[in-house]
Amino acid sequence: MGHSFYNRQMHNVYFQPEDPTWPPSHPARIVQQTAQKTLAGDQIPTNNLISRIYHWQPLQEFLAQLLDEPGLERLYPHADPLACLNVMRMDAGDKLGWHYDRSDFATTLLLQAPEVGGEYWFVPFLRDAAQERLEELRQVLEGSHKRLRQAPLATGTLSFFSGRYSPHRVTEVLGPTPRVMAVLGYVRHPGVQFNGAERQRFYGRSHVVGAPSV
């Protein structure tokens, strides 16, 4: 993790620039804070155990069964060499602010749970393709929504969730043990890539560096 990118940023729940047309009460004007260390996919050796799990086709087929979509027999590894497989570390003081994901689903594997803090909170399917439900989103960001849930994640927990429609966050890590999470980037169709701006925002660079040998 000494080669990781320390991603510290202030953002809104959409990870988008502020829109001057938003009214003052718009929940996207509520600023969130994120701080975490990220190892990108090109920094993780292909013979590492987490890489072998990521590329294990039976796992990709199992996750496709969970989606239960006609004709979808498997998921595919993300083609972007940075975004495909990430390892996120949160030390004391680090956290992940409320946000929606850009992808329909996310797959994570908790490699190490913290002793104190680092709790995963979410609201399942707050929005959908037809309704944004901004008033309910404001309640989420203010901590008053009636469907707020905490997922009790232990070390080794594999999670598969709909981050595009379910806002979620990770609370501040408070103890000496860091929270370490692998993010397995799968997509429905092969060939998906990030653009340079997306790479720069999440990894601090747009170029590929290559993984160290182990």
Domain of residue 62 covers 5-17+28-203
The two beta strands, 106-112 and 179-184, are: antiparallel
HSE on the CB side for 214, CA within 13 Å? 10
For residue 75, being part of any structural domain is answered with: yes
Contacts of 135 (CB under 8 A, 6+ apart): none
Angle ∠(2,212,192) on CA atoms, nearest 5: 95
Residue 198: the pLDDT is 87
For residue 96, being part of any structural domain is answered with: yes
> Residue 36: exposed, middle, or buried by beta-carbon count in 10 A (0-12, 13-18, 19+)?
buried
Contacts of 148 (CB under 8 A, 6+ apart): 121, 122, 123, 140
Residue where the block lists tokens 């309704």: 131
Residue 197: the pLDDT is 87
For residue 209, being part of any structural domain is answered with: no
For residue 91, being part of any structural domain is answered with: yes
Total domains present in the chain:
1
Q: pLDDT (tens digit, 0 to 9) for every residue of the chain, 214 residues total?
A: 788 999 999 999 999 998 999 999 999 999 999 999 999 999 999 999 999 999 999 999 999 999 999 999 999 999 999 999 999 999 999 999 999 998 999 999 999 999 999 999 999 999 999 999 999 999 999 999 999 999 999 999 999 999 999 999 999 999 999 999 999 999 999 998 988 888 998 899 999 987 655 4
For residue 112, being part of any structural domain is answered with: yes
CA-to-CA separations, 59 to 54, 73, 102, 177, 184, in angstroms, rounded: 8, 11, 22, 29, 11
Angle ∠(147,148,149) on CA atoms, nearest 5: 110
Residue 90 to residue 114: CA distance in whole angstroms: 9
For 103-153, what is each residue's pLDDT tens digit? 999 999 999 999 999 999 999 999 999 999 999 999 999 999 999 999 999
For residue 189, being part of any structural domain is answered with: yes
Residue 192: the pLDDT is 87
For residue 44, being part of any structural domain is answered with: yes
Residue 212: the pLDDT is 59
Residue where the block lists tokens 């429905």: 188
Q: Which tokens go with 95?
A: 């956290």
Contacts of 119 (CB under 8 A, 6+ apart): 150, 170, 171
For residue 211, being part of any structural domain is answered with: no
CA-to-CA separations, 203 to 11, 87, 99, 117, 158, in angstroms, rounded: 15, 12, 17, 24, 23
DSSP state of 80: -
Residue 94: the pLDDT is 98
Length of the chain: 214
Residue 106: the pLDDT is 95
Residue 213: the pLDDT is 53
Q: Indicate which CATH number applies to the domain containing 60.
A: 2.60.120.620
Q: What is the 3-state secondary structure (H, E, C) of 88-127?
A: EEECCCCEEEEECCCCCCEEEEEEECCCCECCEEECCCCC
